[in-house]
């Protein structure tokens, strides 16, 4: 596992955006689609802002990009304020030339009975495209990646999960109270994340410093799912100084 530390999240995000832009352009030159795994939350906002800038000011096209978001709350309507569909449109999709049929966010509107089959199809689509070229991750204070909470197995599949209390508390501000915060979500499993050819995990701020240390310097354990990335051969933790401050 590599860790790269930047002065702040802005410079870090610009560097990651440049790597993504380079990958998109290489794939364009090869007339290949570029398959991206995307995250929501506060961590990738500055990355998406820079990708939008690269599109508007430097002509970066997303026409060959096919994307798969990590997760979505369940249940969740796509046009609801807290939906990850809405988040992605607001921060990226509405501002670049990605084709609407080429982005995927797990569907929070399914009936319970439909979910397992839907999750299998989600993975099959990724597989049919040759797998994820690059997966962007954030990290929860408990070490979750996507919504693979503590206890998620390294070979876990895309599935409906119960959100940890700590995850719901972190989200409760957006939902104006814990009682309105979803209890479940659909998440890409750890297995597909681990199969991505390249993984970049973003973490900013002092509040992430303990979990960054645990994920990178302690043993690999399902109680800290981000620690599985120690076994990925092309994963990098991109950090600001504060998130890296507890590393030895």
Q: Which residues bind ligand F6R (CB under 6 A)?
A: 39-43, 70-71, 138-140, 144-146
Rounded distance, CA 110 to CA 118, Å? 9
Q: Which of 72, 123, 149, 242 is catalytic?
A: 149
Q: How far is the CB of 192 from ligand F6R (least distance, A)?
A: 13
Looking at residue 205, the DSSP 8-state letter turns out to be S
The 10 Å CB-count burial string (b at 16+, else e) for 84-94 is bbbbbbebbbe
Identify which of residues 139 and 199 has a Cβ nearer to ligand F6R in the complex: 139
* CA angle in degrees (0–180, nearest 5) for 126-129-130: 90
Closest approach of ligand F6R to the CB of residue 211, in Å = 10
State in angstroms the smallest separation of the CB of 28 from ligand F6R: 26
**Is residue 57 flagged as an active site residue?**
no
Whichever of 65 and 70 has its CB closer to ligand F6R, that residue is: 70
Strand order of the sheet with strand 134-137? 2-6, 235-240, 199-203, 134-137, 34-38, 65-69, 103-104
* Residue 23 vs 212, nearer CB to ligand F6R: 212
Catalytic residue positions, numbered: 149
């Amino acid at each position: 596992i590599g860790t790269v530390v930047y002065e702040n999240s802005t410079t870090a995000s610009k560097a990651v955006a440049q790597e993504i832009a380079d990958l998109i352009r290489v794939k364009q030159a090869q007339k290949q689609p570029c398959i991206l795994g995307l995250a929501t939350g506060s961590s990738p906002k500055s990355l998406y802002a820079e990708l939008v800038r690269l599109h508007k000011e430097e002509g970066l096209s997303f026409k060959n990009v096919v994307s798969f978001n990590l997760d979505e709350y369940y249940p969740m309507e796509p046009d609801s304020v807290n939906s990850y569909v809405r988040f992605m449109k607001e921060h990226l999709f509405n501002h670049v030339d990605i084709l609407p049929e080429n982005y995927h966010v797990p569907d929070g509107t399914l009936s319970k009975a439909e979910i397992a089959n839907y999750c299998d199809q989600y993975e099959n689509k990724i597989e049919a495209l040759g797998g994820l070229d690059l997966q962007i991750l954030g990290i929860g204070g408990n070490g979750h990646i996507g919504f693979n909470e503590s206890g998620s197995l390294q070979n876990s599949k895309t599935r409906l999960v119960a959100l940890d209390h700590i995850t719901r508390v972190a989200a409760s501000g957006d939902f104006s109270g814990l009682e309105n915060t979803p209890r479940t979500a659909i998440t890409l499993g750890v297995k597909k994340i681990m199969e991505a050819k390249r993984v970049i995990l973003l973490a900013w701020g002092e509040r992430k410093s303990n979990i960054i240390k645990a994920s990178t310097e302690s043993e690999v354990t399902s109680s800290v799912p981000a620690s599985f990335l120690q076994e990925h051969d092309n994963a990098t933790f991109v950090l600001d100084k504060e998130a890296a401050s507890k590393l030895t």
